[in-house]
Amino acid sequence: MNPSDRVLLTRLFPTVLSLVAHRRRSFRADAQAAVSRLRPPLQVLGREHIPTAGPCLLTVNHYHSPTFQAWWLSLSISASVPADVHWIITSTLTFEDWRANVITPLSQWALPRVARMYDFTAMPPMPPRPFEAAARAESVRHVLRFIRDTGRPVVGLAPEGGDAPGGVLAALPPGSGRFIQHLSAHGLTLIPIGAYESDGAFCVRFGAPYSLRVDTALPPDERDAAAGNCVMRHIADLLPPRLRGPFV
């Protein structure tokens, strides 16, 4: 077990108790407690771009490695932002090996409960699957209700929706750009974040906020791709060249 995973084990027992008992928890508080134990410490760059409040959408690459799994994205960002982040998380972990018969069913039980415990939105995994269209639509409505009912919402999203080989940026699944454009149209400024490792430390680098603008005259699929490429290029600018993939 790597050191970062051992850090999480120190927080696991009380979190599981709250999950079973259906008790709400503060994700920001749990994130700060976990991140404070990282060695080397978390490196936060671009602090001048960290929002103190919304309305904004934080978009981060779905970075992972043998030493830092993707859950450190939300932990590190929530520990760094002085406001509660409403994360959009997957409702199911999907695999193409033996884990599909073991971990996938367990995740289908656990992840929606984690979302309720932390007041997140659980959304079916990407790429979209036709039989989950109704569940995906309800998840979108849940996010929009949160935006409408929260004074200055801060929403967090890793738009790639899954791990890419080596933690290198990948093109977004169909529909992701359209979803982000929909959130932007509801008044959310976008803030890009690059996550990566440097000299053994986990790093999150905040970029300057921007407004997502896509030519509305484009056909729907082209608007989707244009919005997604815009989002990913802003993230790529914050990453080491080795992780930028097709967005160099």
Displacement of CA 40 from its chain's centroid (Å): 23
Report CA dihedral (18, 11, 239, 190) to the nearest 10 degrees: 30
CB 46 within 8 A of CB 205: yes
Question: Is 231 within 8 Å of 180 (Cβ atoms)?
Answer: yes
Each residue's pLDDT tens digit, 66-112 = 888 888 999 999 999 999 999 999 887 777 788 788 888 887 888 88
Asked if 162 and 62 count as a contact pair (C-beta separation under 8 A), the reply is yes
Token pair, residue 161, equals 């929706």
Task: Report the pLDDT value the prediction gives residue 6, as an integer from 0 to 100.
Answer: 63
Mean pLDDT across the chain: 88
pLDDT at 3 over 70: no
pTM of the model: 0.90
CA dist., res. 223 & res. 168, Å (int) = 24
Q: Do 141 and 188 form a contact (C-beta atoms < 8 A)?
A: no
pLDDT, residue 84, reads 95
Distance between CA atoms of residues 59 and 209, nearest Å: 11
Tell me which residue of 118, 116, 31 sits closest to 79, measured CA to CA.
31
Domain definitions of the chain by residue range? 3-242
Do the strands 189-198 and 56-60 form a parallel or antiparallel pair, or are they unpaired?
A: parallel
Q: What is the pLDDT of residue 100?
A: 80
Side chain identity at 69, as an amino acid letter?
A: Q
Model pLDDT, residue 183? 94
CATH of domain 3-242: 3.40.1130
Supply 69's token pair: 């799994």
Q: Is the pLDDT score of 143 beyond 70? A: yes
C-alpha to C-alpha distances, 13 to 6, 30, 69, 107, 124, nearest whole angstrom: 13, 12, 19, 18, 27
